[in-house]
């Protein structure tokens, strides 16, 4: 939501640049590595199943529509892979499938940050949706208590983003180890696996930076009403 003469919007420019770069990076990396067919000759769906079996996990794999919509659902013990990843057999597809398996490993091993993030999901969702309407209604009508509630709600969303960072990097670390120990990836394919995982992780850095600067913006706007 933008307002005339809102100088605080300048704060978001670095995060917007980083977000644009991160999205471009992950898309270009995926586009490049999706052309590199892995010598294992398996699909992303099959790789996920192999890693699940090798790591003694109990979850099913499903194909889901959309592009890069891959995710792990811990409540249903389902690993969902987008159509391109599930049916593809590239280095990029293997990396993404393994990353989601990494999240399943986090749950099994009771990784603290993963457990905390799971608890915060509903709170952060409500907070991110309610924060801006409450804050800007308070800003327009000078209801300072509404602005404070909006900041509190958005702080929860920022906390969620901050916790997400180590969760995603740890899932990528687990994915890399799982793939390199699985026998599915050749030694000369490993650098490309790491490249794909690092590019994907950068999007979470950008999201965290954007959320933190947005929170700072709300605080500055709130102080301007004192």
pLDDT digits (tens, 9 = 90+) for 97-118: 999 999 999 999 999 999 999 9
Asked whether the predicted pLDDT for residue 5 surpasses 80, the reply is: no
Where in the sequence numbering do the catalytic residues fall? 100
Residue range 37-85, pLDDT digits in tens: 999 999 999 999 999 999 999 999 999 998 889 999 999 999 999 999 9
More confident residue, 62 or 12: 62
The answer as to whether 159 is a domain residue is yes
Number of domains present in the structure of the chain: 1
SS3 186: coil
| Residue 170 confidence (pLDDT) | 97
What does the mean pLDDT of the chain come to?
92
Please report whether residue 2 resides in a domain.
no
List the domain range (segments joined by +) for residue 143.
7-223
**Domain for residue 40, yes or no?**
yes
1 found inside a domain: no
Q: Tell which residue, 113, 114, 122, 109, has the closest CA to residue 157.
A: 122
How far apart CA 218 and CA 203 sit, in angstroms, is 23
Q: Would you say 81 and 70 are in contact if contact means Cβ atoms under 8 Å apart?
A: yes
Considering the domain boundaries, does residue 130 fall inside one?
yes
User: Residue 169 and residue 23: Cα distance in Å, rounded?
Assistant: 17
Does residue 1 have a pLDDT over 50?
Answer: no
């Amino acid at each position: 939501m933008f307002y005339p003469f809102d100088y605080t919007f300048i704060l978001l420019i670095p995060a917007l640049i980083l977000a644009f770069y991160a999205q471009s990076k992950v898309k270009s990396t995926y586009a490049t590595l999706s052309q590199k067919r892995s010598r294992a000759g398996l699909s992303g769906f099959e790789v996920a199943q192999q890693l699940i079996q090798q790591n003694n996990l109990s979850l099913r794999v499903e194909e889901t529509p959309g592009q890069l919509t891959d995710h792990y659902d811990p409540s249903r013990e389902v690993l969902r892979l987008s159509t391109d990843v599930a049916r593809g057999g590239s280095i990029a597809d293997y990396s993404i499938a393994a990353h989601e398996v990494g999240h399943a490993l986090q749950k099994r091993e009771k990784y603290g940050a993963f457990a905390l993030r799971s608890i915060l999901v509903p709170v952060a969702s409500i907070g991110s949706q309610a924060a801006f309407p409450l804050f800007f209604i308070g800003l327009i009508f000078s209801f300072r208590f509404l602005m404070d509630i909006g900041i509190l709600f958005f702080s929860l969303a920022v906390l969620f983003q901050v916790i997400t960072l180590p969760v995603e990097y740890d899932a990528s670390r687990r994915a890399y180890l799982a793939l390199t120990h699985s026998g599915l990836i050749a030694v000369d394919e490993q650098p490309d696996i790491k490249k794909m995982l690092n590019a994907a992780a950068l999007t979470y850095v950008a999201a965290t930076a954007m959320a933190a600067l947005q929170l700072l913006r709300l605080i500055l706007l709130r102080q301007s009403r004192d």
